[in-house]
Structure 1
Amino acid sequence: MVGTKSDVSRTTLPRRQLGRALRDARQANGYTLEQVAEVLEISRSALGRLELGQNEKIKVRDIEFICQYYGLPEERTEYLKLLAEQARVRPWWEDFRNLVRPGFNTYLQLEAAATELHFFQALIIPGLLQTPDYARSVRSSAPMGSSADADWLVERRIQRSAILTRRHKPMRAEFLVHESALRTVVGSMRIMSSQYRHLADMGRRENVSIRVVPFTAGFPGGLAVPPFIIIDFPHGEPSVVYTEGAIGTMIFEDADDVNRFRVIHEALNGAALEEQGSRDLLRTMARRYEQ
């Protein structure tokens, strides 16, 4: 588990994914660190730091050479090179790290590398599903920085949602949204009505599932379940769970912790309305708010 209360845009999580994959590939070939270091003409300690995710200066060409030496297939090599590039590139949100929730920049890195996302949200409409007006109203309720900064962050939030609608390999995402998040009025009735219709429309996409956990379901996941996101990665990379609260975030990497969240998610999933029923509820709420 990784807890954060400050800027962690340089977190070792993405690098550890790369390091873990390289370590597994080395061990699968039966090589020791000493053997590989000698062949690649690097120090054993440098290779060890790379496998532990402690090397911040990662060269993509080195990763490619290592992958070739291990005999990894091209698709796997390209994925690990992508992880290396993400570890090197200055993230777009770094200049705005004081404007975002502590630790959220870590989530953005993980989201960029993910193949599937599983959300539970009981407090607010998930960011990837927010309309521009809803997002602006949320931002205005927690002022940080100038209005220009706020507008910039809202624009980036909306741009991020393109991962759900892009033509090439749109992100698969499953959203469980508690009815309490839907009933909380953000901005105005007009904004909420538009937001409900947007949710209903997004839920019709093949790669997106949106289901409502109704008040009548009680507490299927137990008391005090925080908002969380289960993040799945390609090529069998271990999943992680991102959670957030008022003063910070936590990322769970341990397999037992991730499995506990999956159990909670399945309980919530079992209590949620079906997709069509959820869309019907959303459209009904939209009509009521319009009146």
Structure 2
Amino acid sequence: METTSTGPLIPRRLLGAAFRELRESRGETLQQAAQACLFSPSKLSRIENGLAGEPNPRDVRDLVAHFGVDADRVAELEALAQAGRVPGWWQVPPYDMPSRVDTFISYESTASRIQVYEPAVIPGLLQTRDYAEAALTHLAPWLDADAVALQVDIRMRRQSEHRLRSPRPSTLNVLSEAVLRRGAGHPALMRDQLDALIEASTDPLTELHVLPFSAGLHHAVQLSTTTVFSFDNADDLDVVAIERDRSVQFLEKSDNVRHYRDVIAGLATYWLDEAGSRSFIADIRSTI
């Protein structure tokens, strides 16, 4: 089966946003456009929000015909529809994952910038294989050994796909000091993980900052793992993912995205600069 490295979620959202823009440019209500295309308003709403599943070729043709789209735009919309029918590599066997993880990887694989605030564990894209195995074993005790091994493979594949993307997205990683001091098994495992963090932080596209305990209270103290996914030339597609035990909440409204983007940016008052963060990590490593 054909797969892609990015999956169908973002093409479906872009396609839906394009149809919404066309409808609004004509001054039509959702009900008027739906009636003209013999859709129910709820169906057109799902299409416009990228929630209708695999784009139906007939639906796309009907909408294109109704809006009188020119040939170049038709080709663009049909390309988005086609991309919206092709699964991502993580959506086919042997992979089988909860919808929240599916959605998270869909955003991760297409975002142009990823900002992470992590108070508990090393961010997934920066984990070594041994650390990932230890983290999954302890944080997801309901998984058996085979399931853990499969999840580790997925995590390593995510890292590989991330490195291979062109252009590669930039990342901002803000880690609490607790992340660095929390053991994950044998000391050698943690030393290797901290070495990997230091190496990763030298990549111009991987910005890494430590929030030391000495920073005291700040406005993210009560946050769980929070990721902001941003997309070039499509601010309305930006999304925040807030991770909790066995759940992920995705926030798409612009005011929510703006709030969490500002929260992470505000941490610059408290975090160590990049060179200071590398030194801080090296100092902790020397004590393990």
Q: Tell me, yes or no, if the aligned pair for 1:211 and 1:272 is still in contact at 8 Å.
A: yes
Structure 1: distance between partners of 2:281 and 2:58: 50
SS at match of 1:128: helix
SS at match of 2:106: helix
Gaps of 5+ in 1: 1-11
Given the alignment of the two structures, is residue 254 of structure 1 paired with residue 253 of structure 2, yes or no? yes
How many residues were matched structurally? 273
**What's the counterpart of residue 216 of structure 1?**
214
Q: Could you report, residue by residue, the CA deviation over 1:122-162 in whole angstroms, capped at 9, with x for unpaired residues?
A: 10000110000100111221333431221111011011112
Pair 77,270 (structure 1): closer, same or farther in 2 beyond 3 Å:
farther
Question: How far does residue 35 in structure 1 lie from its aligned partner after superposition?
Answer: 6.8
Superposed, 1:43-122 pairs within 5 Å as 43-45=38-40, 47-59=44-56, 66=64, 70-71=69-70, 77=76, 81-82=79-80, 85-86=83-84, 89=87, 92-93=90-91, 103-122=100-119
**What's the counterpart of residue 226 of structure 2?**
228
Superposed, 1:24-35 pairs within 5 Å as 24-28=21-25
Q: Tell me, yes or no, if the aligned pair for 2:14 and 2:50 is still in contact at 8 Å.
A: yes
Superposed, 1:155-174 pairs within 5 Å as 155-166=153-164, 168-174=166-172
Q: Tell me, yes or no, if the aligned pair for 1:252 and 1:258 is still in contact at 8 Å.
A: yes
Query: What is the percent sequence identity of the aligned residues?
Result: 24
**What's the counterpart of residue 4 of structure 1?**
none
Structure 2: distance between partners of 1:18 and 1:263: 28
**What's the counterpart of residue 239 of structure 2?**
240
Q: Tell me, yes or no, if the aligned pair for 2:114 and 2:170 is still in contact at 8 Å.
A: yes
**What's the counterpart of residue 3 of structure 1?**
none
SS at match of 2:90: coil
When normalised by structure 2's length, the TM-score is: 0.79
| Alpha-carbon RMSD | 3.5
Structure 1: distance between partners of 2:58 and 2:201: 41
Specify the code of the residue in structure 1 equivalent to 2:241: Y
When normalised by structure 1's length, the TM-score is: 0.79
Q: Could you report, residue by residue, the CA deviation over 1:195-223 in whole angstroms, capped at 9, with x for unpaired residues?
A: 11101111111111011111111122254
Specify the code of the residue in structure 2 equivalent to 1:210: L
Pair 28,113 (structure 1): closer, same or farther in 2 beyond 3 Å:
farther
**What's the counterpart of residue 285 of structure 2?**
286
